[in-house]
Amino acid sequence: RGQTTELLKNMGSAWDCVDAKADLTPYDVLIVGKSTLTVDGPAPDIGRVRDGLKVLVFEQTPEVLEKRFGFRVAQYGLRQVFARVPDHPVLAGLRTEHLRDWRGEATILPPRLKYELDPKFNLTPTVTWCGIPVTRAWRCGCRGNVASVLIEKPACGDFFPIVDGGFSLQYSPLLEYREGKGMVLFCQMDVTGRTETDPAAQVLTANLLEYVFGWKPSPRREALYAGDPVGKRHLEKAGFRFGSFSDREMKADRVLVVVPGGKALEPHSDGIAAFLKAGGCLLALGWTQQDADAILPFKVSISQGEHINACFDPPGLHSPLAGVGPADVHNRDPREIALVDGGVETLGDGVLAIASSLNVVFCQLAPWQFEYAGNYGLKKTFRRASFLATRILANLGANSETPLLTRFSTAVGGDEPARWLRGFYLDEPEEWDDPYRFFRW
């Protein structure tokens, strides 16, 4: 307790100290100290984030992130993370070598986890994760850690990963959430209470404060949808709300999402051309050549090809693909899909592409194409493709909502269902009566 206070004092910051019942109306920024939140304790109402309040949350325990918020987390104790948005202001002055092997030890976790030796797993060390027992290797020590408790990138809502790490780079310890005119920035980087001072951690903390104080919301757009209703249901579960598609609704401050079946939009091609010329945005999800020919006012080449993965540098902060990486387009079930191969700027093998002059983004992995119910090997691909589609749509300005702001101030009740079952992820299991069934996947 008091570690964040000491950190801010050493940086010369001034603040008012508030409690859980505080009225935050007079304030622009709320800083939540390390380990301040508990699973069942009170917390301030941050609903005013929608009106412009900015919240900076320093390191919280895995119990709070999992049980109170509903995130899926990993307690890796990472000694290296990677910049997902290298030109982000929070990373100013920091290079790849500064995001690894920090001095001293992190203190958010004890050096050893609490294990149980479960006979059902041949006495392998076992921990409880999201209500189910999972095996994991022994872990000892926190020396050199840069991030001990990481959040799995949500597939719902406008969550923007600034850095990432862990298996398949699916976790982020520096995650910015945007809703309405405000934001919540989760800093799970081990910058607070280290046993030794690290210069990179100090620079990162200073950048975080400067960024939050100066943050301004980007323009928001109403979303329109056209195509297969399966895709619409998927994106609505991810927190987006869509207006009805018509020529009259295609104004410059809209973003249009179109999935295969574009031939039906051919009568609207002139209206779509005018919409794009006026500054509207279009997200093409899983298009074929037929779709492109029927809708677009320019020529683009799309052909069938096998896709496993693609390699490309992290897109910049102002790119419509910001926050997206090669791990998000990794297909664990290699198959032939439609890939963009000409007429626009492509990334990797054409699984992603941008026509920047007309605000058109192509994403050739549609998450609902990976039905994992009969093949759980596809579940990771579904997760990453879901995050991919959500992230691109949010980058284009589409509004979305999640339960985050409500859960911040609402303690967990005794009879409440597990919050991680709904809210941030789309691969929610239907049955939890037998936790060991998951190991038969």
pLDDT in tens, 212-244: 999 999 999 999 999 889 999 999 999 999 987
Report residue 57 CA to chain centroid gap.
Answer: 16
Report residue 28 CA to chain centroid gap.
Answer: 24
CB 412 within 8 A of CB 390: no
pLDDT per position as a tens digit, 49-67 = 999 999 999 999 999 999 9
Q: List the structure tokens of 134.
A: 């999972």
Report residue 267 CA to chain centroid gap.
Answer: 36
pLDDT per position as a tens digit, 109-149 = 998 877 777 777 677 788 888 878 887 777 778 999 999 99
- 123-137, 296-310, 353-367, 389-403: range with lowest mean pLDDT: 123-137
Question: Which residue's structure tokens are 């598609």?
Answer: 245
For residue 364, pLDDT beyond 50 = yes
318 pLDDT tier (thresholds 50, 70, 90): very high
pLDDT per position as a tens digit, 91-101 = 999 999 999 99
For residue 72, pLDDT beyond 50 = yes
pLDDT at 263: 67
Nearest-Å Rg of the Cα atoms of the chain is 22
- 31-40, 54-63, 248-257, 378-387: range with lowest mean pLDDT: 248-257
pLDDT at 2: 87
For residue 108, pLDDT beyond 90 = yes
What's the pTM value of the predicted model, to 2 decimals? 0.92
Say which DSSP state 100 is in: B
For residue 368, pLDDT beyond 50 = yes
Annotate 41-58 with DSSP letters as a single string.
Answer: S-----GGGGGT-EEEE-
Q: List the structure tokens of 80.
A: 């290296």
428 pLDDT tier (thresholds 50, 70, 90): low
CA angle 312, 317, 322 (to 5 degrees): 50
Say what angle helices 229-237 and 379-395 make with each other, to 10 degrees.
80
Q: Cα–Cα distance between 195 and 1 in angstroms, integer?
A: 15
**Any alpha helices (H) in 226-268, and if so which ranges?**
229-237
Q: Tell me the mean pLDDT in the region 338-342.
A: 94
Q: Tell me the mean pLDDT in the region 184-194.
A: 97
